A and B are shown apart, each in its own frame.
Chain A
Amino acid sequence: MSNSLIKPRIERPSLSQIIEAKAPLFLVPVLMLIGLLAIGSGSTWLTLTAAGLAMGMMIFIMASGLTVIFGLMDVINFGHGAFISLGAFAGFTILGLLGGWIESPSIALNLGAVLLAVAFAMLVTGLAGYGFERLIVKPVYGQHLKQILVTMGGLVVTQQLIYVIWGPDEIVLARPAAFQGSFVVLGAAIEKYRVLAIVIGLALFVAMRLVLNRTRIGLLVRAGVQNGEMVEALGYPIKKLFLAVFMVGCALAGLGGVMWGMYQETISAHMGAEVMISVFIVVIIGGLGSIEGCFIGAMLVGLLTNYTGFLIPKLALVSTILLMGAVLMWRPQGLYPVVKAH
């Protein structure tokens, strides 16, 4: 093919295109600034901001698995909340066994207990995800209405199994000694556990971005989100990739469940279903299938919930729904949609 036939050129995007693409990145700083102006007190704002970011990180951990599952597999998993609850109870079991470690003043032992609880919760929920995908999700690929019905059924069954194993009552989940209490920074009280949640959430976000953008598996996932059939036609068994991603998504829900349980300090079979409203809002705000959008959406939801809870408590419950409405009016497919609605 001769060069004379086609004369390609690369044009720089216009300023408006750059602003349009980058605008979602400014939402979190803008919301923080608005919060500072509305609250007035710097120390109160710092406390609320740390609480909001920590809450956002935990919602991100729970929502990231759901958005990737939806993006890659086109599966609307209303049973995702079951893995959040299951993870919390699995983590609770390990923390119960390691009572000496969590009561110890040693940070290393405390952290070791949390890491073991997290690892066990992710293992249990990952394996449960395997069974869930094989038994419940696999027969209804491509059938959204049936997916909603059967995954809701799976949620109910899992909640009942939790009743059978751990009983129907709420259980108090004590945080390890090192993560109780607060730091005082610039006159603001910041709970130690929230710092841990922010660190784990950030680490997960960075790790997920690295895996998705720098590895062949990530490349396959990103390609599969767009055109699974073509990935198969290139010779890759995408159904195995689906299963692996589903298991990882469930394991992330389990991680989120442990973190959320220690944050709330009580766990119940219904905790997953209760937090799923925020999780779905975050996934929709972020754009289906998008890790970056999910991260920004989770931060917005966490911050807004805390700011409005302080400023206008009666508005706190609906503030995130109003936020979702505003974002969808601006970007009907969410901030960074990977899966485009047709």
Chain B
Amino acid sequence: MSDALLSLNGIHTHIGPYHILQGVDLEVPRGGVTVLLGRNGAGKTTTLRTIMGLWQASQGTIRFDGAAIQKETTPAIAQREIAFVPEDMGIFSDLTVHENMLLAARGGAIDEERLGWIFGLFPPLKTFWQSAAGNLSGGQKQMLAVARAIIEPRKLILIDEPTKGLAPAIINAMIAALKELKELKEMQTTILLVEQNFSMARAVGDTVAVMDDGRIVYSGDMAELAADTGLQERLMGLSLEAHQ
């Protein structure tokens, strides 16, 4: 894919004695949502953490916007306009919602217009603006985690299972928020989303990659995968329809 914002070539990652990623090749097209699917333990979270430099790749190259970043530190990678929403949300629970957002705005001040847009997506954040983030519910914390990633324009947002453990109503709300984010073309934001909730994956994904045993075993358009039950069965032993 020629217009890839992010590409991983032959990435291997070891964590202690474990060889987790075993040659990941992945391309994330510019301007859309790529969903990374796979069973538990396939290496999805490790892929995101390796991209962010939180775990170092032992082999292979990661190119972002034309530059090789696999040897860079996590702060340097983040400063390339990459935001990360980890699986555990990474909320600073003793800080207020406001302070959490203030830290995410590296420019120093929060853009009020953009904040108004975020409040429109996630109204509870306005209500609890001065409350300790640790007092938020699980869904509200996830909203805060995503809001931090979009408080300033970013070229790429890595989101790790934003619907994990959330109630269906909150999941639908999250889908609506991500759809709105991707439809705002002026944002020019690319999203790499790790997700096991198939309805979410299908609703927001443009392209998809499926992982198994530390490798990418399929990549293509989401629409193709969603339409091909046989392919789903072969790749994941699952049908998307059975999991909606």
Contact = CB atoms under 8 A, between A and B. Distances in A.
Interface in B71-126: 73-75, 78-79, 84, 86, 90, 92-95, 99, 102-104, 106, 108, 120-124
B127 A235 contact: no
B121 A1 contact: yes
B222 interface: no
The interface size bin for chain A is: 20 to 34
A41 B182 CA distance: 74
Given A6-B173, A10-B127, A219-B95, A230 B86 contact: yes
B90 A8 contact: no
Contacts of B177: 1
> What secondary structure prevails in chain B residues at the interface with A?
helix
Contact of B104 (A232, A234, A238): A234
B95 A222 contact: yes
Nearest to B120: A1
Contacts of A2: 173
Given A1-B123, A10-B127, A226 B94 contact: yes
B116 to A, nearest CB: 14
Contacts of B127: 8-10
Contacts of B173: 1-2, 5-6
A312 interface: no
Contacts of A220: 103
Contact of B75 (A1, A5, A227, A238): A238
Given A1-B173, A230-B86, A235-B79, A6 B94 contact: no
A203 B238 CA distance: 65
Contact of B78 (A222, A226, A227, A232): A232
A236 interface: yes
Nearest to B128: A8
A219 B94 contact: no
Contacts of A9: 127
Nearest to A6: B124
Closest 5 CB pairs of A and B: A235-B78, A230-B90, A1-B173, A232-B74, A8-B124
Interface of A: 1-3, 5-6, 8-10, 216, 219-220, 222-223, 226-227, 229-238, 338
